Structure 1
Amino acid sequence: MKRKLIAAVGVAAMMAGVAACGSGDSGAEGDKSLTIWAMDGSAPEPWVKELNKAFEAEHEGAKVEIKVQQWNGIQEKITTALSEDAPPDVLELGNTQTAGYAVTGGLADLTDLKGELGYDKWNKGMVPSTELDGKLYSAPWYAANRVVVYDKKAFKDAGVQPPKTRDEWLDGLRKIKDKTDSQPIYLPGQSWYVFAGLLWDEGGDLAAEDGDKWKGTLASPEAQKAMDFYKELQSFSTAPKDADEATPQQSTDVVPKGKVASWIGLGWEAGGAIDAMKKAGSEADFGYFPIPGKTADKPGKVFFGGSNLAVSERSPDKELAQEWLKMATSEKWMKKYAEATEGGLLPNSPGAQVDPAAGSFAEAMVKSSEVGALTPITPGWANVETEPNPIKEYMTKVLKGTSPAQAGKDADKVIDERINKS
């Protein structure tokens, strides 16, 4: 995931002081030193220290060093590192990026280790991003997904309860519009991860395999249905139609100014909004609920953003690196991880999930995780997300009056060209 994921509301910056950012120098072959690249904000310091102490105790002479990396520019940095003779031994990779690194040959093939890694126990929504062409190249580490954050007072004033279906959701937004002076929902026109969930609910996808190539599928009837619903939701919002949730940043630049009854975001955004409102002299009173589905029996699908852990093919001590990976992603240590993040990040297996606090962001997120999904698993997908993102442009065109069919055809041409690039 290309964004800092401190998903537990109120969780502090968790990696501060673990280690400074640095290059991937591993020790000489045989000296049992491991270098782990972890992204800023991904691993709590107490968890890291306890894990590495236990690992070093089990492997005499082993020394583990965590080197914290920043998301900005990380793709280029990892690409370079994987081509060198002494890359970091284990790397954290965004789950939408993993396939792109696997196809280069820079990641170790872990297929024979499925049983030892607990493959069959992993969250089914996380598994696809770890594999390419039937082979396993990483283990899922954590994930997070969006939920609806709402102002309890605005909902109470309008007599609205958290909805369970799309129809109830729209009905509640109408009541908030009629009975309060709050904006029913803040929803920018280019929140494409939200749109993706609606599209998956309709049985569609952003792209599909076509023989030995991929093709965009935004001109499909499913995409039109999803965009029609998104357009209806967006009609209750004053957010710009040609920007995403970060322009302006909804959690710190929009919500703290007040009069926003609800919005869709990640845990770190909810925490950011709470902090910003406190600094501005007000107090947030948020509730949380999963994005509603078409029926009440299950919530709407959501994008499962997160990270995987992989071993470098050129690691100076690949076997030791694999042992660290097994321990770090085991159910025992993933449960400790979930506890350390206060349930705010989803561990790689249901068995490691801790019970989140009632009424918390984490509680709503866990409910949604049952239907988490991922963008197309292909090395070329990273090219699609490059700005200008054709999915964003498609959404803006539709919101400004272009027919979904025509806007979809325009977007699919760009997707077809980008997704099939090596």
Structure 2
Amino acid sequence: MRRRLLALVCVSASLLGGCGLLPDRAAERRTVTVWLMQHSASPEFLGRFTEEFEREHPALDLDIRIQEWTGIGEKVQRALDTGGPGGPDVIEVGNTQVTQYAEGDGLLDLTLESMRDWGRDAWLPGLAEPGRWGSQQYGIPWYAANRVVIYRKDLFRRAGITAPPRTRDEWLTVTEKLNTGGNQGIYLAGQDWYTLAGFIWEEGGELAEGDDGVWRGTLDSPAALRGMEFYRRLQALGDGPVDADEEHPPQAGVFAEGRVAQIVAVPGLARAVVRQNPDLEDRLGYFPVPGKSAGRPGAVFTGGSDLVVPADTDVREGAVEVVAALTGARWNTDLARTMNYVPNKASLAGSVAGEEGVAAMAAGAAQGRATPGTPRWGAVEADNPIKEYMTKVLTGADPATEARRAARRITEALAFD
């Protein structure tokens, strides 16, 4: 009887917060606020993820808030500076932005988690490397995107080309063959410096190098000059403007006019091409940017997003659980299939093998790189000397002289006040 009475007392008391024997589940629940960028993930994906995550983590609620890219840098920095309750606990940031936030001690060091449980050594280098500051890992790779070659299958067949080129030398030969009959073998704007960066990396060069926190521009190295020379030879096989980048005019519109055999772009640009010229819908193909040797794609700039955790989050364990889930194999491959992204590990590329453009992108991503890992790199892009350097070389100036001038300007931009 005493046992039955005790049980009744406990059941009644639990309605008021428990008798000390039963936990108060409502009081234990914590909310993890997650900032994700607009269009990074579909509402359907986020709904699936939230439902299952909360079911597997009954003490956690997710509050996913979608942010716009415009002005996001300042908004994230304010959130990190202000801290405290109500701020984000997990933030999606561009992969090249991590160091600027980590520099001010605003991010949680996730090195141990990434090394022990998340397979850091297997991540795509273009996402993993910019997520590090010093020897610590602050940004955890989420998804990637990079340039491929989008080409006209019908123009290739008409020119007797039966397969995409596998090496850079083959690429030049094929492009020259396509550059006839009023067609451009390739449309490559003169200031497409992201594409140039890939050619420089493929030669073993760098845009800039750092030593003990001191950075200097290296466009004048022999390897970087070889990369520029390849760019010059390829760009000459089309009519791309030498004094503008790929958005002036937008290369999708130029390609849609129907007289261009190839462009270098992310696969998603094909949608813009087809919207402007529906007749091209079944004529477009994709292949990775070729490398110096067959069997290995060339180096490319890898864009995409990392996930970071503010250092002052008050739900540290919950935030880490969210990052672990979103970047883990199950949800990472789901996101890649849903959004046509490259997963964060080369070993997961098979999940997007059914999509020709994404498969080409994933193959290239294995050789992906990012811009130099210094928080000052934004100052270089703000008044980009690489673009001016490219135009000077393409209009006949001495490459070595112009490379030295551009390298000095990069060094000055990377110097701390």
TM bucket normalised to smaller: 0.7 to 0.9
**Alignment partner, residue 377 of structure 2:** 381
What is the 5 A alignment of 1:181-196?
Answer: 181-196=182-197
Give 1:118 deviation, angstroms: 3.3
What is the 5 A alignment of 1:207-356?
Answer: 207-251=208-252, 253-278=253-278, 283=281, 285-341=283-339, 344-356=340-352
Give 1:286 deviation, angstroms: 0.4
The yes-or-no answer on 1:39 pairing with 2:45 is no
Aligned partner of 2:401 among 389, 400, 406: 406
Give 1:208 deviation, angstroms: 0.8
The yes-or-no answer on 1:394 pairing with 2:395 is no
Please tell me whether the aligned partners of residues 287 and 360 of structure 2 are also in contact (alpha carbons under 8 angstroms): yes
Aligned to 2:333, what secondary structure does the other structure show?
helix
Relative to total residues, which structure has the larger helix share, 1 or 2? 2
Give 1:61 deviation, angstroms: 4.5
Q: Can you list the C-alpha shifts for 1:9-62, whole angstroms capped at 9, x where unaligned?
A: xxxxxxxxxxxxxxxxxxxx9861222111112112222112111221233342
Distance 1:202-1:101 versus aligned 2 partners, 3 A rule: same
Q: In structure 2, how many angstroms separate the alpha carbons of the residues matched to 1:421 and 1:267?
A: 37
Q: Report the structure number with the largest CA radius of gyration.
A: 2
What is the 5 A alignment of 1:75-90?
Answer: 75-86=73-84, 87-90=87-90
Please tell me whether the aligned partners of residues 141 and 347 of structure 1 are also in contact (alpha carbons under 8 angstroms): yes
Q: In structure 1, how many angstroms separate the alpha carbons of the residues matched to 2:105 and 2:325?
A: 24
Higher mean C-alpha deviation, range 54-63 or range 75-84: 54-63
Give 1:65 deviation, angstroms: 1.8
Aligned to 1:227, what secondary structure does the other structure show?
helix
The structure 1 segments of at least 4 consecutive aligned residues displaced by more than 6 Å after TM superposition are: none
Q: In structure 1, how many angstroms separate the alpha carbons of the residues matched to 2:221 and 2:372?
A: 16
Aligned to 2:352, what secondary structure does the other structure show?
coil
**Alignment partner, residue 356 of structure 2:** 360
**Alignment partner, residue 168 of structure 1:** 170
Give 1:210 deviation, angstroms: 3.7
Give 1:63 deviation, angstroms: 2.0
Q: In structure 2, how many angstroms separate the alpha carbons of the residues matched to 1:375 and 1:259?
A: 33
Q: Can you list the C-alpha shifts for 1:162-206, whole angstroms capped at 9, x where unaligned?
A: 11111211111221123x321110000011111011101111000
What is the 5 A alignment of 1:111-190?
Answer: 111-114=111-114, 115-160=116-161, 161-178=163-180, 180-190=181-191
Distance 1:284-1:277 versus aligned 2 partners, 3 A rule: farther
Q: In structure 1, how many angstroms separate the alpha carbons of the residues matched to 2:375 and 2:94?
A: 13
The amino acid across from 2:78 in the alignment is: T
TM-score for both structures, normalised by structure 1 = 0.87
**Alignment partner, residue 51 of structure 2:** 53
Please tell me whether the aligned partners of residues 150 and 263 of structure 1 are also in contact (alpha carbons under 8 angstroms): yes
Distance 1:337-1:358 versus aligned 2 partners, 3 A rule: closer
Please tell me whether the aligned partners of residues 291 and 297 of structure 2 are also in contact (alpha carbons under 8 angstroms): yes
Distance 1:107-1:233 versus aligned 2 partners, 3 A rule: same
Q: In structure 2, how many angstroms separate the alpha carbons of the residues matched to 1:353 and 1:152?
A: 24
Q: In structure 1, how many angstroms separate the alpha carbons of the residues matched to 2:193 and 2:126?
A: 19
Please tell me whether the aligned partners of residues 331 and 351 of structure 1 are also in contact (alpha carbons under 8 angstroms): no
Aligned to 1:100, what secondary structure does the other structure show?
helix
TM-score for both structures, normalised by structure 2 = 0.88
Aligned to 1:34, what secondary structure does the other structure show?
strand
The amino acid across from 1:356 in the alignment is: V
Q: In structure 2, how many angstroms separate the alpha carbons of the residues matched to 1:323 and 1:346?
A: 22
CA RMSD of superposed structures (Å):
1.9
